[in-house]
């Protein structure tokens, strides 16, 4: 009978320690999963923001590279189609004006 009491008294702390360890492990796992979920939510939010920014930049690029926009910018910068064209002849050494 003494032997049975010693086995019970030895097993009781081991069971308590194991249970406490499993409880701590469960809490740690829960905290890690919540943290990972928060990080995933932030990453998805950033992805949506960057996708929208990329779309806006692509639209701006398309608008700014259209022929109408380039023509308007050329006019602003002083690039205009010449009305009088003057050709210089190599052989004769003088300039010729063509209509």
The pLDDT tens digits for 16-56 are 999 999 999 999 999 999 999 999 999 999 999 999 999 99
Q: What is the pTM of this model?
A: 0.50
- Cβ-based neighbours of 27, under 8 Å, separated by 6 or more: none
pLDDT for 34: 94
pLDDT for 95: 56
pLDDT for 86: 73
- Cβ-based neighbours of 95, under 8 Å, separated by 6 or more: 86, 87, 88, 89
């Amino acid at each position: 009978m003494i032997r049975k009491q010693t086995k019970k008294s030895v097993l009781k702390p081991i069971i308590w320690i194991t249970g406490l360890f499993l409880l701590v492990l469960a809490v740690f796992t829960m905290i890690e999963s919540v943290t990972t979920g928060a990080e995933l939510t932030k990453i998805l939010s950033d992805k949506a923001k960057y996708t929208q920014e990329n779309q806006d930049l692509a639209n701006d690029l398309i608008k700014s590279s259209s022929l109408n926009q380039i023509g308007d910018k050329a006019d602003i910068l002083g690039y205009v189609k010449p009305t009088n064209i003057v050709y210089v002849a190599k052989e004769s050494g003088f300039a010729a004006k063509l209509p």
